Amino acid sequence: MSSTDGLLQALEASVVDVNEAVPLPPACYVTEEFLAFERRAIFDRDWVCIGHEGQIPNVGDYFTVKLFDDPLLAVRGADGRVRVLSAVCQHRGMIVAEGAGNGSNFRCPYHFWVYGLDGQLLGAPAMEQRVGFDKSCHGLPRLRSEIWNGFIFMTFDDGAGELTPTLGGLTRILENYRLDETVWLDGGTFEDLPWNWKVMLENFVDGYHNNRLHSGIGDVMPCSAATFWPFDESCDNHISRSNRTLRQDASFNLTREPLFPVFPHLSDEDRWHWNFALVPPTLALAIVPDQVAYFTVFPTGAGSISIQIGYLLHPRVLEMPLFDVLFAQAKADVDNFNGADIHADTMVQEGLRSRFAPRGPYSWQEATLQQINRWLVKRYREHSQRDPVAARAAGL
């Protein structure tokens, strides 16, 4: 039996029934070689959420992200459409935009090549003597993109199927929140967090730690009340957990009371639940009666990530006289909640590097982790068949 066969067989133990399954092998979380394999198997082929269109409400608004070695920008064009472009000047490779802002074009600061909001090259100084120079051949590369419930997704794979049909279950969960009517608010960006991107996603939808790690603020959503949405790795691109709460309209703060207007179209049952959902590999959603908070998660190394947090609230919040105070309090309470997760994720990553790192038995309350494994292993297998050399380099 080859080493490739051996590790691929080891992955099988992570995708059986949750009451028999174990986590992925620790090497999947700690080696740069395995992350390089995941980059090709997942991030180069799947739909990746890079942000929300609420970040760019006006013509000319843009923001930038970096996905591994690719600087990208999302921009709202003169026609109102959101496009995702490479931020790399097609002359000498200079980056044409950093951070976020607004403008009528993108001018490379190096040699002043100018690109329109649609990525087309508008001007290039002193190129009149260049034989056969054609501006139309040198625009910023444009990526395929989709908007789903306001979230901006892109893919490097021109052959990828449409995203929206794979999110039907999550679309139904969010239907009564009417996210197209919400206002977007910035929750901040956090760099150099010291754990693997999968550790982040696993913790986000883990139903086993709610009122254990988060004793106090998390008591309102007991682990025993966790339920898990059906998942079919052949067609689903979302993984979701629901938690019934001990009181209606419970929210993410120390009082458990809603600080913001409850979404008015929620059913009575909606108001008794918190939902936690992933659209892997980068989007995580926390859905509660008065707010939807989301994280976009970007790997920066095998043991490091950056995240950007955003909030979606009912527009009536803008009429609240003390909204700024309440929003600051809400963010502080979420930061308090996240503080326990930050410590746990950091320590899990440290433990996964140990020679004694386990593949321990899952609880039924960790069903979403087995679903994540199924989503991942499907892609690992497919890419191992496409590129066995890359698979061997990753230890598969």
SS (H, E, C) the chain: CCHHHHHHHHHHCCCCCCCCCCCCCCHHHHCHHHHHHHHHHHHCCCCEEEEEHHHCCCCCEEEEEEECCEEEEEEECCCCCEEEEECECCCCCCECCCCEEECCCEECCCCCCEECCCCCEEECCCCCCCCCCCHHHCCCCEEEEEEECCEEEEECCCCCCCCHHHHHHHHHHHHHHCHHHCEEEEEEEEEEECCCHHHHHHHHHCCCCHHHHCCCHHHHCCHHHEEECCCCCCCCCCEEEEEECCCCCCCCCCCCCCCCCCCCCCCCCHHHEEEEEEECCCEEEEEECCEEEEEEEEEEECCEEEEEEEEEECHHHHHCCCHHHHHHHHHHHHHHHHHHHHHHHHHHHHHHCCCCCCCCCCCHHHHHHHHHHHHHHHHHHHHHHHCHHHHHHCCC
Domains of the chain in sequence order: 3-45+165-393 (3.90.380.10), 48-155 (2.102.10.10)
How do the pLDDT tens digits run along the chain, 396 residues long? 344 456 778 999 999 999 999 999 999 999 999 999 999 999 999 999 999 999 999 999 999 999 999 999 999 999 999 999 999 999 999 999 999 999 999 999 999 999 999 999 999 999 999 999 999 999 999 999 999 999 999 999 999 999 999 999 999 999 999 999 999 999 999 999 999 999 999 999 999 998 888 777 778 888 999 999 999 999 999 999 999 999 999 998 888 899 999 999 999 999 999 999 999 999 999 999 999 999 999 999 999 999 999 999 999 999 999 999 999 998 888 888 888 899 999 999 999 999 999 999 999 999 999 999 999 999 999 999 998 888 888 877
Q: According to the model, what pLDDT value does residue 2 have?
A: 40
Q: According to the model, what pLDDT value does residue 335 have?
A: 83
Residues 6+ apart with CB under 8 A from 366: 18, 206, 207, 208
d(CA 308, CA 68): 15
Q: According to the model, what pLDDT value does residue 1 have?
A: 34
Position 143, amino acid = L
- The neighbouring-strand residues paired with 65 are 72
Q: According to the model, what pLDDT value does residue 5 have?
A: 52
Q: According to the model, what pLDDT value does residue 6 have?
A: 66
